[in-house]
Homo-oligomer: A and B are copies of this chain.
């Protein structure tokens, strides 16, 4: 029988390969990875640049040798899959020794995503970086240490922008953060954004909101400034983090359906429109548990669990990849921000809901317990069904994992009234008697009545 072939040696691809091999050790699994690194912790890159993660190798989760020897995966690095023939069930591979064909029994496309490179003037200047590979992380890491930059421009106020502001600030670099929209962290909603923005300013980040970047200026090929909002700022380092785009071209050129989001369309088992071809991870769509519609939220857990489920499905045990709730958390200096579900009222209305939102302020500990910090929650429910649609929260502690209670409610189509009566944990060092999530549900339920 032809082997299982997997395109891409990161979270989704290797989760699938490992799971399949556990079920069928006798079958061959070939993983083609076009670069040097496999199974790396992309989410750790800002912390490596910051210096919180000391060793580059700490970002490598499973060494290639282990994949090859312990898991018996036929891992081929420096091999790029350049074409898929879905009729012939084979891929064309460009490797160190030239091109060749590789037939497959079943194929998983796990090509990931790439940093969007906007068409700014001066993108090619020395000192302008993006962050979506270990090599680029190493370059920024070394630049911060070797070039002693005095000011950095971060373009984009998403996760990467916020985390990189913290990373640069740790090296006493003056940080300018440029965001085209009125607020940072768009998926977290305005309430969270405003708290994060206030905090960023507090810690000394120069925040430029609603400020479009026109380009970079340089001398002798070396960055010396950024042009934005009709101003020029002296900077000697720049990090462009305006989002990622799915690597869906390989699939679309093979005639495989791509969704409206631009990512590869998949069904609940991660199957694409082509027979025996799956897609998972940052190149693929997922189904959103609230809207029921295809969505593109390229995050690490989604990739890992979809890969694993597809490995199981390919092994003969059909396993859904799971819906996503868009659950996410981010550390912004001393703040934690988190979100889950559908919190944008327009998105909720488009999905057929009649959304109602409230915002409450509670605390991370009993009011009398030292160190209690404010927690702010926005929660959204549906007027018709009373269902919990989503929430966003922000505070200095107890936020990142508290969102999971709401994520669980979102997954189980819990009503706001039911959530209000969940028996959640309480002890003075960890929560008020009524957990902030319960307070939010109580207030929202009052408004939905």
A residues sitting closer than 8 Å to B (CB atoms) are 11, 41, 43-44, 47, 52-53, 58-59, 61, 289, 299-302, 304-305, 309, 320, 322-331, 336, 338, 340, 366-370, 398, 400-405, 407-409, 411-412, 414, 418, 421-431, 433-435, 437-438
Total copies of the chain: 2
Q: Is the CB of B300 within 8 A of A41?
A: no
Q: Is the CB of A301 within 8 A of B41?
A: no
Q: Is the CB of A326 within 8 A of B44?
A: no
Q: Is the CB of A52 within 8 A of B427?
A: no
> Provided the pairs A338-B425, A425-B401 are in contact, do residues A368 and B44 lie with their beta carbons within 8 angstroms?
yes
Q: Is the CB of A402 within 8 A of B400?
A: no
Among A320, A422, A438, max chain B CB count under 10 A is at A422
Q: Is the CB of A327 within 8 A of B425?
A: yes
Q: Is the CB of B404 within 8 A of A340?
A: no
In the docked arrangement, what's the CA distance between A43 and B430, Å?
A: 12
Q: Is the CB of A428 within 8 A of B44?
A: yes
Q: Is the CB of B408 within 8 A of A340?
A: no
A301: B residues at CB distance < 8 A: 423-424, 426, 433-435, 438
In the docked arrangement, what's the CA distance between A400 and B430, Å?
A: 7
In the docked arrangement, what's the CA distance between A52 and B366, Å?
A: 12
Q: Which residue of B lies closest to A59 (CB)?
A: B368
In the docked arrangement, what's the CA distance between A325 and B444, Å?
A: 23
Contacts A47-B428, A329-B425 known; list 18 others, CB within 8 Å: A43-B366, A43-B428, A58-B368, A289-B423, A299-B426, A301-B424, A323-B423, A324-B423, A325-B422, A329-B430, A331-B427, A331-B429, A400-B429, A401-B405, A404-B424, A404-B425, A404-B435, A408-B414
In the docked arrangement, what's the CA distance between A411 and B325, Å?
A: 19
Q: Is the CB of A424 within 8 A of B407?
A: yes
A427: B residues at CB distance < 8 A: 43, 328-331, 400
Contact of A300 among B59, B370, B426 (CB under 8 A): B426
In the docked arrangement, what's the CA distance between A426 and B438, Å?
A: 22
Q: Could you list 14 examples of A-B contacts with CB < 8 Å?
A: A11-B433, A41-B368, A44-B428, A47-B428, A58-B368, A61-B367, A289-B423, A301-B424, A301-B433, A309-B421, A322-B423, A340-B423, A407-B424, A408-B408
A400: B residues at CB distance < 8 A: 425, 427, 429-431
A418: B residues at CB distance < 8 A: 411-412
In the docked arrangement, what's the CA distance between A369 and B45, Å?
A: 11
Q: Which residue of B lies closest to A411 (CB)?
A: B422
A322: B residues at CB distance < 8 A: 421, 423
A11: B residues at CB distance < 8 A: 433
A52: B residues at CB distance < 8 A: 369-370
> Provided the pairs A44-B368, A300-B433, A369-B53 are in contact, do residues A423 and B411 lie with their beta carbons within 8 angstroms?
yes
A326: B residues at CB distance < 8 A: 423
In the docked arrangement, what's the CA distance between A370 and B58, Å?
A: 11
In the docked arrangement, what's the CA distance between A300 and B338, Å?
A: 27
A428: B residues at CB distance < 8 A: 41, 43-44, 47
Q: Which residue of B lies closest to A48 (CB)?
A: B368
Q: Which residue of B lies closest to A11 (CB)?
A: B433
A421: B residues at CB distance < 8 A: 305, 309, 320, 322-323
Q: Is the CB of A53 within 8 A of B368?
A: yes
In the docked arrangement, what's the CA distance between A338 and B429, Å?
A: 13
Contact of A422 among B61, B320, B336, B408 (CB under 8 A): B408
In the docked arrangement, what's the CA distance between A131 and B58, Å?
A: 49
Q: Is the CB of A47 within 8 A of B328?
A: no
In the docked arrangement, what's the CA distance between A235 and B237, Å?
A: 66
In the docked arrangement, what's the CA distance between A301 and B322, Å?
A: 33
A330: B residues at CB distance < 8 A: 427
In the docked arrangement, what's the CA distance between A402 and B402, Å?
A: 7
How far, in Å, is A154 (CB) from chain B's closest CB?
18
How far, in Å, is A358 (CB) from chain B's closest CB?
17
